[in-house]
Structure 1
């Protein structure tokens, strides 16, 4: 065992990546020594774990860019993605990636716990719990990575599609070889299956993964693989531990909303495990990340999610007249999760499973259960559509409204684009306000290579075993 490993650096500082690994060789002065099972268990809790997505957040139909940030600006990765430009060298534009580095930093943390806790002093049950929680979070981080840097899971090609580096051990000298998409998903499923028997329904704090979280992640993995029966069963298991839906209608109409009754992290009962895009104050990034006119219109005029949280009138953050909107509620007034998992996503996954099994009435019953807590007036209860495609469209759009911002829409477009029935060609007419440049229509095809984000250049240079998953060229 690597005894007396210092972890203060893992919590406070991000070190330079080498291939797919973080190097944490030095013990800073005043660092925390971890040597008991309880120490390792407490190490799992990481209250400010965050995943910055600035390399790919505009590759969706739900996000928008203020025109002054695009027109006349030297192309950067955000403008290239926002305008769906396949003709520019993206590899050179992504010299590094905070998202990539943080995912592997966290994986290194989980691997350290998994590889060292058995030799620590203390209760065997605490050791098993710490290891299980670390495996659940390791599975989550690998799931994020494979859904950003590889193609969406396609059962016919996953065994040969290039994936990511699987990191399953604490090894400072590793230069791992890239695994396939199928191998990464198999690893994720194995971690979850090994973790679930030891997890708790009510962990010590909300930064420890619960049984509801693990089953929800398992459901998501199965759903992305189109293993519908397994996904539905996992949804049911997750909801058996936490089935709460925060009632935004009651919150708006009777409790006065966020100005009267703040709901701050970690006090939102829908959230299954707290993690963030930017950090504890993450929804403040809505000020600089407007949602698209398309998503704004999708909300309509009687949706509590839009009416409570979004602003359409500030010229500081919007082009007035574009139809865009931005999230405007401070995190000190209401915490709306954009990463991790929450019960409402589990309900929508359950609805999708039912629709895919042609239980359209069952699917819509689940959707309407959510809408009763979200829609203020009008057509709260939707009727059962005539076809599976119409039902799926409702569910997909409900996912867009319930899981705005963050990375979920990007993941959904990628997975649904592998199925002709649900694939979408995204079009963006831009600009909408500025009259000094010609208005154009930009198109993102379901098969576009843009959906596969290149590995960061600094990582590609350090690990010769890592190769691109697109046909883009290396600049070295």
Structure 2
């Protein structure tokens, strides 16, 4: 226990120091005691923060919600001034604040790197599962956090430019006294894929604990990464593997869809009893996407059919006319957004890949099977499309509805902007003022926090 306390002191010291110095520039005390057993390394990854996300920017910049007036925008940003700036894609987003999206991702990467030292231990036959669980989990967490950083602070992946586009610093150890520059985006994706494929090659059982990574979670992330890279063959391969491993869905016909406030939910807390959830991750709600300011995008609301149960499961009609999202798998109303991995995301990746490959009816069949669990029983009509392009439009709209407020819309918009026929111009209207974000604009890449740029001599993203 004393040894684990020393580990905690070391890690907490690193984190606290990072608040004033920049996360990549913190000095660690090399004389601190290090973990010695597999259980010690497992404890490093068992902390709650490993499944919390701080992807404010992934939600703030997208088109899933709106803020009606400047009063709500300002009051919702009192403690997070960058919220109001990110909402309108301002030139100066952070106002010299530190940003959790960056700091906490690298915090998790540090923990993962430290846990990977479990490889110094030769496991006994009875310890193999736990050893593989620790190593596989650490590789998953490191890859996932590099991936999330890339969606916020790097250009969209393009195989023709990835070798020259700038990535994010690839910290692969826990010696934070080392300074890292920005490698190529190709190098970042290579590292993500290497970590995930290494994890996929291990065999472990997490005992059905959705707070711990599993092989299915690794494959779900691989499917998402390959989709982002437009490698639809590999994305389909891993989506299929996910569905073979964890393909069950929750049937919304079995839910009580009546909620009386934005603080309630039809789902049980922490996804209890939800067979679709593969890995739990959550984003705390607050700022301008808090319950007093949040309003769902009206264009999206109109896309739901009358018999689509998601309209009631996801949204609460507030007395002031707002449509507030209460459909997080985390339960507890608008308290935490679910940002983890689920069977329905794998289904939608599969459907998109099939549509892009020209397998029109197969793609429609996947969407139909998903809708069987989302529409009022007995009302669903056969689903068809005349062309691959039509099928793709159906799938993408289904993805937008199903994965609402899960933190993937921003990265979806970025990747789809590479295709002119699917590109979107985002528009905000506030009291007569208009703000616009055209496709391929520099502002689809968020700036790196200023303290990281100055302390670590990083090249800043253009605005």
Q: In the alignment, what sits opposite 1:149?
A: 153
1:251 Cα offset (Å): 1.7
Q: In the alignment, what sits opposite 1:127?
A: 131
C-alpha distance after superposition, 1:141-167 (max 9, x if no partner) = 100000110111112211111111111
Q: In the alignment, what sits opposite 1:212?
A: 216
1:79 Cα offset (Å): 3.2
Does residue 165 of the first structure (1) align with residue 172 of the second (2)? no
Does residue 54 of the first structure (1) align with residue 52 of the second (2)? no
When residues 375 and 39 of structure 1 are mapped into structure 2, their CA distance, relative to the original with a 3 A threshold, is: same
1:126 Cα offset (Å): 3.1
1:332 Cα offset (Å): 5.3
* Structure 1 residues 336-347: aligned runs within 5 Å: 338-347=338-347
Alpha-carbon contact 2:156-2:414 (below 8 Å) kept: yes
Alpha-carbon contact 2:265-2:326 (below 8 Å) kept: no
Alpha-carbon contact 1:302-1:378 (below 8 Å) kept: no
When residues 445 and 378 of structure 1 are mapped into structure 2, their CA distance, relative to the original with a 3 A threshold, is: farther
Matches of 1:74 and 1:231 in 2, distance apart? 38
1:104 Cα offset (Å): 0.4
Matches of 1:16 and 1:96 in 2, distance apart? 13
Q: In the alignment, what sits opposite 1:303?
A: 308
Matches of 1:50 and 1:72 in 2, distance apart? 25
TM-score, length-scaled by structure 1:
0.83
C-alpha distance after superposition, 1:259-286 (max 9, x if no partner) = 897522141221111111128x99x945
Alpha-carbon contact 2:257-2:266 (below 8 Å) kept: no
Q: In the alignment, what sits opposite 1:277?
A: 283
Matches of 1:409 and 1:224 in 2, distance apart? 12
Deviates more, 1:156-165 or 1:301-310: 301-310
Does residue 325 of the first structure (1) align with residue 323 of the second (2)? yes
C-alpha distance after superposition, 1:278-315 (max 9, x if no partner) = 28x99x94554332112222234333222123123333
Alpha-carbon contact 1:203-1:209 (below 8 Å) kept: no
Does residue 21 of the first structure (1) align with residue 8 of the second (2)? no
Q: In the alignment, what sits opposite 1:251?
A: 255
> Which structure has the highest helix share of the two?
2
Q: In the alignment, what sits opposite 2:109?
A: 107
Alpha-carbon contact 2:65-2:294 (below 8 Å) kept: yes
Matches of 1:304 and 1:158 in 2, distance apart? 41
C-alpha distance after superposition, 1:417-469 (max 9, x if no partner) = 122232112234x24xxxxx5x24432211111110101112112111x1113
Q: In the alignment, what sits opposite 1:434?
A: none
Candidates 292, 314, 333, aligned match of 2:297: 292
Does residue 463 of the first structure (1) align with residue 456 of the second (2)? yes
Q: In the alignment, what sits opposite 1:41?
A: 42
C-alpha distance after superposition, 1:42-94 (max 9, x if no partner) = 43233343222334523222121131224899995433343345xx333x525
Q: In the alignment, what sits opposite 2:423?
A: 423
Q: In the alignment, what sits opposite 1:179?
A: 183
Alpha-carbon contact 2:217-2:278 (below 8 Å) kept: yes
Deviates more, 1:50-59 or 1:148-157: 50-59
Q: In the alignment, what sits opposite 2:229?
A: 225
Matches of 1:26 and 1:177 in 2, distance apart? 23
TM-score, length-scaled by structure 2:
0.85
Alpha-carbon contact 1:220-1:349 (below 8 Å) kept: yes
Candidates 35, 44, 68, aligned match of 1:66: 68
When residues 207 and 22 of structure 1 are mapped into structure 2, their CA distance, relative to the original with a 3 A threshold, is: farther
Matches of 1:230 and 1:103 in 2, distance apart? 26
Does residue 7 of the first structure (1) align with residue 13 of the second (2)? no
Does residue 314 of the first structure (1) align with residue 322 of the second (2)? no
Matches of 1:60 and 1:382 in 2, distance apart? 32
Structure 2 residue runs of 5 or longer lacking an equivalent are none
Matches of 2:238 and 2:163 in 1, distance apart? 24
Deviates more, 1:245-254 or 1:207-216: 245-254
Alpha-carbon contact 2:25-2:177 (below 8 Å) kept: no
User: What SS does the corresponding residue of 1:178 show, helix, strand or coil?
Assistant: coil
When residues 56 and 96 of structure 1 are mapped into structure 2, their CA distance, relative to the original with a 3 A threshold, is: farther
Matches of 1:74 and 1:245 in 2, distance apart? 37
CA-atom RMSD in angstroms = 3.5
Matched pairs, number: 446
Alpha-carbon contact 1:19-1:176 (below 8 Å) kept: no
C-alpha distance after superposition, 1:82-115 (max 9, x if no partner) = 3345xx333x525211111110000000000113
1:23 Cα offset (Å): 4.3
Matches of 2:304 and 2:403 in 1, distance apart? 12
1:386 Cα offset (Å): 1.4
Q: In the alignment, what sits opposite 2:446?
A: 453
